[in-house]
């Protein structure tokens, strides 16, 4: 398909991204709301938040919608997803800043427009980092937070290697949810997600970025040696966080971890 100079409907793209994800993860937005409840309970009404691996900005958008005095910095290394976030959140004006950066690279924090944050949040983004990089990232996040600031990581984190048999139970629960019709199989989700990219592929300014993305996707392999949940918690404690805990746990993988500086 040859890219045309046409403007996708950016807000619609973010809405479609949300509804697609709800199908495979029915509690996703309840979980996001819960994360926002935690922010409301622990931060002043005027706060700054950093969203790591924001994608098209679903979590960042919810923060600025719910907290009219909050400002967010959204970061991602993928220019096409970040473009959707930037355009879809344009109505929020200067309260939203987007920065293209790779948080696995040393010194990434120097590209941020702010030096300190009340909150660092992230959803479905850090699972691809190998152990050593996760520990380094946690130390950087700690350094970016104000005293009393919070880090919230919502991700597919491996529950616990020690609990034999429970993993199989979770797999059966997932199958039951698919049979009962409130969750779609992962393959169906991935097929629909492919279709989600179509309007972006027709947008000429993103042509090169998407070609690069496709090349990387072809050779991408999941990293070896990612953390399980207990290791995440101890790595956060070693990074200096004074309180660390699992505040949401859903089946064997969807967790929200809270760490307070
Ligand atoms: C599965 S998407 C999640 C998007 C969004 N946070 C959500 O919950 O829907 C993961 C995002 O993390 C970004 N990402 C992964 N590794 C990254 C890195 N090292 N630096 C910056 N962004 C990264 C990807 O480009 C992608 O947009």
Task: Please report which confidence band the pLDDT of residue 224 belongs to, taking 50, 70 and 90 as the band edges.
Answer: confident
Q: Please give the distance, rounded to the nearest whole angstrom, from the Cα atom of residue 165 to the centre of ligand 1.
A: 31
Q: Which atom of ligand 1 is least distant from the CA of 102? A: 20
Question: What are the sequence ranges of the domains in the chain?
Answer: 10-260
Query: Which comes out higher in pLDDT, residue 253 or 241?
Result: 241
**Ligand 1, CB within 6 Å, residue ranges:** 53-55, 58-59, 76-78, 81, 102-104, 123-125, 128
Most ligand 1 atoms within 8 A of CB, residue of 21, 125, 214 to mutate: 125
Those residues whose C-beta lies under 8 Å from the C-beta of residue 254, and which sit 6 or more positions away, are: 25, 27, 31, 154, 155, 156, 248
Find the 101 Cα to ligand 1 centroid distance in Å. Answer: 11
Mean pLDDT of 82-105: 98
Distance 58 CA to ligand 1 centre (A): 11
Ligand 1 centroid from CA 159, angstroms: 21
Please compute the mean of the pLDDT values over residues 140-146 and round it to a whole number: 98
CB contact set of 134 (below 8 Å; sequence gap of 6+): 126, 226, 227, 232, 235
Instruction: Quote the pTM value.
Output: 0.94
| Residue with CA at minimum distance from ligand 1 atom 4 | 55
Residue nearest to atom 13 of ligand 1 (CA): 53
* Band of residue 5 on the pLDDT scale cut at 50, 70, 90: low
* CATH (one of 3.40.50.150, 1.10.3130.10, 2.40.30.10, 3.10.450.50) for 10-260: 3.40.50.150
250 — pLDDT class (breaks 50, 70, 90): confident
Q: Which residues, other chains included, contact 228 with Cβ-Cβ below 8 Å and sequence gap of 6+? A: 157, 158, 159, 160, 161
Q: Is the pLDDT of residue 152 over 60?
A: yes
Q: Report the separation in Å between the CA atom of 130 and the middle of ligand 1, taken as the mean of its atom positions.
A: 15
């Amino acid at each position: 398909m040859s890219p045309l100079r046409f403007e996708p409907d950016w807000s619609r793209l973010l809405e479609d991204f949300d509804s697609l994800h709800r199908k495979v993860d029915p509690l996703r937005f309840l979980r996001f709301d819960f994360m926002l409840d935690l922010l409301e309970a622990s931060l002043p009404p005027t706060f700054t938040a950093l969203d790591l691996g924001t994608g098209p900005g679903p979590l960042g958008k919810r923060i600025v919608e719910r907290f009219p005095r909050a400002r967010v910095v959204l970061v991602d290394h993928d220019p096409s997803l970040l473009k959707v976030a930037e355009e879809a959140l344009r109505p929020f004006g200067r309260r939203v800043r987007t920065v293209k950066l790779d948080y696995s690279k040393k010194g990434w924090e120097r590209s941020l427009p702010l030096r300190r944050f009340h909150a660092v949040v992230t959803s479905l983004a850090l699972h691809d980092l190998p152990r050593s990089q996760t520990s380094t990232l946690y130390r950087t996040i700690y350094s970016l937070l104000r005293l009393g600031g919070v880090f919230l990581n919502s991700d597919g984190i491996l529950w616990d290697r020690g609990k034999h048999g429970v993993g199989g139970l979770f797999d059966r629960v997932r199958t039951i949810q698919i049979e009962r019709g409130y969750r779609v199989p992962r393959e169906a989700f991935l097929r629909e997600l492919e279709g989600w990219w179509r309007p972006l592929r027709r947008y000429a300014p993103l042509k090169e970025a998407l070609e690069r993305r496709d090349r990387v996707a072809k050779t991408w392999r999941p990293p070896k040696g990612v953390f399980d949940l207990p290791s995440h918690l101890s790595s956060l404690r070693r990074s200096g966080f004074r309180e660390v805990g699992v505040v949401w746990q859903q089946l064997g993988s969807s967790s929200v971890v809270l760490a307070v500086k």
